[in-house]
């Protein structure tokens, strides 16, 4: 069984407050983007229980800490009939980039195991399992534009359509640790709850002034080159540009008819969608 999990960008990301469990309440719009990894699962008695391999971009974690492997063992704990699996991941989506690539891959594993072994897990149950892997993971069960709140697991499909525009995705190969990024947010700068739905409903040409990502200020202060990407997007005619998630990816939304000629350093990941 083969799956091609896609990533996401965040249209706005507001930190509302710190929770008693140590996490943060947030509001964001998850928007799916057609940049993809590939995950393959093969089930045969020729394999002894479980093996994992990967190609593509280097994954700098031990196998037991790989989120796809964690997804496998999360379901196997409750469904011991899942066995003799060979899993291969081909990594294309930049990591530590605010694009949710790892979350997408792990969620794809849950969906594939559910189908291959006929576990008959409902969407609600799959979302509950996904949340145990990470705050972004539940979105990829739905994989449609969603307003997300709480840790990101309370999801409401929302009518946001960017098909009439082209989006430039740029990642400067800077890895941003999500936990560290949350630690940099000043509690005095928490956003009021309930604003984002109203903001996202405004004309896209107003977003530049009203749609914000609360992580940009601390991330840009540490990594000015990420801010330079955003500035370059606007200089070259972007309608809206922002950092995705906790960084370091920056996206720019452009009119389709604009011929964009932006030269970024050769080691940057750049792709139009």
Confidence of residue 188 (pLDDT cuts 50, 70, 90): low
- pLDDT tens string 71-83: 999 999 999 999 8
- State the CATH class of domain 165-272: alpha beta
- CB 243 within 8 Å of CB 213: yes
pLDDT of res. 187: 65
> Catalytic residue at 37?
no
With a pLDDT cut of 90, the percent of the chain lying above it is 79
Q: Which helix (H) or strand (E) holds 146?
A: strand 146-149
Decide the pairing of beta strands 85-91 and 38-43.
Answer: antiparallel
Residue 88 has pLDDT above 80, yes or no: yes
Coil, strand or helix at 3: strand
Q: What is the 8-class DSSP label of residue 140?
A: H
The number of residues making up the chain comes to: 273
Whether residue 136 lies in the annotated active site: yes
| pLDDT tens profile 143-158 | 999 999 998 889 999 9
Domain ranges of the chain: 165-272
Catalytic residue among 37, 136, 214, 230: 136
Average pLDDT value for residue range 89-105: 95
CA-atom Rg of the chain in angstroms: 19
């Amino acid at each position: 069984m083969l799956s091609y999990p896609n990533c996401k960008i965040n249209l706005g990301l507001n930190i509302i407050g710190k929770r008693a469990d140590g996490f943060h309440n947030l509001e964001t719009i998850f928007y799916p983007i057609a940049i993809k990894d590939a995950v393959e699962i093969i089930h045969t008695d020729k394999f002894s229980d479980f093996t994992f391999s990967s190609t593509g971009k280097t994954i700098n974690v031990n196998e037991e800490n790989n989120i796809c492997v964690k997804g496998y063992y999360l379901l196997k704990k409750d469904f011991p009939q899942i066995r003799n699996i060979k899993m291969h991941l081909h990594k294309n989506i930049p990591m530590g980039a605010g694009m949710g690539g790892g979350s997408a891959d792990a969620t794809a594993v849950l969906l594939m195991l559910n189908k291959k072994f006929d576990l008959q897990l409902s969407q609600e149950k799959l979302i509950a399992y996904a949340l145990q892997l990470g705050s972004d993971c539940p979105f990829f069960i739905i994989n449609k534009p969603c307003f997300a709140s709480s840790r990101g697991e309370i999801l409401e499909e929302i009518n946001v359509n960017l098909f009439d525009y082209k989006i430039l995705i740029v990642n400067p190969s800077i890895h941003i640790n999500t936990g560290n990024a949350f630690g940099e947010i000043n509690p005095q700068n928490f956003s009021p709850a309930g604003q984002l739905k109203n903001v996202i409903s405004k004309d896209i040409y107003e977003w530049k002034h009203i749609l914000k990502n609360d992580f940009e200020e601390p991330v840009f202060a540490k990594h000015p080159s990420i801010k330079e990407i955003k500035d370059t997007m606007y200089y070259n005619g972007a309608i809206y540009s922002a950092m995705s998630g906790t960084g370091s990816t920056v996206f720019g939304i452009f009119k389709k008819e604009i011929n964009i000629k932006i030269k970024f350093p050769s080691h940057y990941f750049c792709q139009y969608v």
